A and B are shown apart, each in its own frame.
Chain A
Amino acid sequence: MSVHAPILAIAVPLLGGFAVPLLARLHRKVRDLWVLLVVLFVGVCVGYVAAHVFTQGIWVYVLGAKNPQETLAPGGFPIRIMLTVDAMSAFMGLIAGFIALVAFPFALKYIPEEEGKTLSLTLGILLLAGILGMAYTGDLFNFFVFLEVTSIAACGIIGFRTWTSRAPEAAFKSMLLFSVSGLFFLLGVALLYGEYGALNLAYVSAQIRGSVVDRLSLALFLAGLLMKAAAAPVHFWAPDAYGEAPAAKALLLVVNTQVSLYGLWRVLFTLYGGLSDAGVGWLVVSLGLLTMVVAALMALVQTDLGRLVAYGAVSQIGYMMLGVGVGLVALSGRPDYGFVAMQGGVFHMLNDALTVGLLFLCVGAVEWAKGTRDLRALGGLGHGLPEVALAFLLASLALAGIPPLNGFASKILIYEGSFRLSPILTAIAVLCSILLLAVFARAFQGAFLGPRGEVEGKIPWVFLLSIGLLVVGILVLGLVPGFFVEEIVTPAAKALWQGRALYLAAVLGG
């Protein structure tokens, strides 16, 4: 069994998602239990895969071969579809697994039965399957397929509340962008296929020479994946999407943008790693800065708590791009500071998932208690919902990078690395953090402080459980970041930074 863990982590949610509506016909309790079982199983699988990869190196799983280690078909050509899980993929899988474990119990209680809970759970599990597929696959076309799986599932979730007029609009906008992004990616894959006649990422990477066609497809990959990852100037779908999706599922959408960013790192570092080009690095860095500035400024003027948090989430994408982009600029010489920035960027993915996830859960709890997210109508919720208020405060501080919370631990690495490249980058990033602190202080004050606000009923204990899990995560990562940086972040960053030869060798042998 355990030898099939990578494919089971994808296949079980894929089939399990479609089983949800069938089981719902039996009984609602059976369906809920099934959802929890599937998510728990995925959590165990990604945990096992990560433990294996971090201790024993890259795990290649070949589909359709007599044994799953047989990477090359007779003739020495990697013709089969394979999953190639290196430390970075395993890291992404861990984030997705943990967020799913937090989000699904919350969703079970959050989405009312009459609003189509069954179908929303199905879509959530399919989105999870697509995310894990994107993280684990070692095949370019396969990556495209999973990209589209996440696009369709994500748009289903975004436009789920069809009875409101805003949700379908957000969903249409997102689907348009996702379609273009997917087709750009496919065109890039087709160009590479036309040139090298292969779809295996490692094989194509070994062949790539940097011709005009290669550069064209790199541009297509960049455009497509940045669109999906909500980088400025194509970020505008994300605030709508995060804001309109049910809060419990917005967490998964955040992980979806991160895994698109992961795909971009995979393309830039592994596929095109041999032709590292500082120009591409500077492009990523400058788009990252643009993203964080635009999103922080837009967050300033929001009056809807959900959209405000959504802009906060988009701005964090900018920090990841800054961190990893600095590493990309420095890739050819491989100085120390480049690696420090990469560690920061990769670590920030984990921290962002936790802090933004917690903020969305708090927004969900507020909406559940008050029925609205409008900051002008909210106020004084701190009296009725003290736990939620504390969690929101904690997450806001972590997002703004206040020590000793986890956001600080990763941002300090990004600052340290980018400062050595150019102090201006660091100055802009610090300014954005301060701006975000102001934004979230205002949001906290508007929603939770002031005269006692009316609260209907009590927050269910499941909400508090999910919120508590993320709070514990934020505190642990903030107080002892050294252990996590050492054990999981450094191997993941190293897999991108200098792991290309190992990645190729794991598939092609030698």
Chain B
Amino acid sequence: MIGNLPFVVCMILVALGLWTLVTKRNLIKLVIGIGLIESGVNLFLVSLGYVRGGIPPIYTYAPADGPMVLPTPQALTLTSIVIGVATTALMLAFAVVIYRHKGTLDARKIRDLRG
């Protein structure tokens, strides 16, 4: 059970992010919600790659029969972080533009597109 603790923490982060998206109406807070989900997923990916007593997956260091840490999840996480930076930046940029037009970041007051 205690071995699953990292996964539980990741899922709590994801749930918090979803909760933020559902309850908050400030555009910046919505972006933060996306960030929370993203961190949860990234941590989940990293924790998947953990091997107890594993060694870095560098070929020349490897003993003949020792367990190695999986390199793939780390590569995936790096990619995912880079993508996350791009999406966050794009969303914040749009939030800035919206603020310049409307003078507010409250999603309830930004209602040009309805119906």
> Which residues in A have some Cβ–Cβ distance to B below 8 Å?
141, 145, 148, 151-152, 155-156, 159, 162, 165-166, 168-173, 175-176, 178-180, 182-183, 186-187, 190, 193-194, 197, 199, 239-240, 243-244, 298, 301-302
The answer on a CB contact under 8 Å between A170 and B83 is no
Residues of B within 8 A of A (CB): 14, 18, 21, 27, 30, 34, 37-38, 41, 44-45, 48, 70, 72-73, 76, 79-80, 83, 86-87, 90-91, 94-95, 97-98, 101-102, 110, 112-113, 115
Q: Residues of A contacting B72 with CB < 8 Å?
A: 193, 199
Which of B18, B37, B115 makes the CB contact (< 8 A) with A298? B115
| Contact in complex: A148, B83 (CB < 8 Å) | yes
Chain B residues within an 8 Å CB radius of A180: 18, 21, 34, 37
Q: Is the CB of B41 within 8 A of A172?
A: no
B48 engages A240 (CB within 8 Å): no
Q: Is the interface of B mostly helix, strand, loop or mixed?
A: helix
**Known: A152-B87, A156-B90, A187-B14. Contact between A165 and B76, CB under 8 A?**
no
The CA-CA distance from A180 to B45 in the complex, in Å, is: 17
Bound form: Cα–Cα A360–B63 in Å = 62
Instruction: Look across to chain B and name the residue whose beta carbon is closest to the beta carbon of A149.
Output: B83
The contact sample of 24 A-B pairs, CB cut-off 8 A, is: A148-B83, A148-B87, A151-B87, A155-B90, A155-B94, A165-B98, A166-B112, A170-B113, A172-B27, A172-B94, A172-B95, A176-B34, A179-B37, A179-B38, A179-B87, A180-B34, A182-B87, A183-B34, A186-B80, A187-B41, A190-B73, A190-B76, A193-B73, A301-B115
Q: Which of B79, B87, B94, B98 has the most CB of A within 10 A?
A: B94
Residues of B near A165 (CB, < 8 A) are 98, 101-102, 112
CA distance A240 to B111 in the complex (A): 11
A residues within 8 A CB of B98? 165, 168-169, 172
Cβ-closest chain B residue relative to A172? B94
Is the CB–CB distance between B45 and A190 below 8 Å?
yes
B48 touches A194 (CB 8 A): yes
Q: Give every chain B residue within 8 A of A190 (Cβ-Cβ).
A: 41, 44-45, 48, 73, 76
Q: What CA separation (Å) do A155 and B83 show in the bound complex?
A: 14
B87 neighbours in A (Cβ, 8 Å): 148, 151-152, 175, 178-179, 182
Q: A168-B98, A175-B94, A190-B45 are in contact. Are A152 and B86 (CB under 8 A)?
A: yes
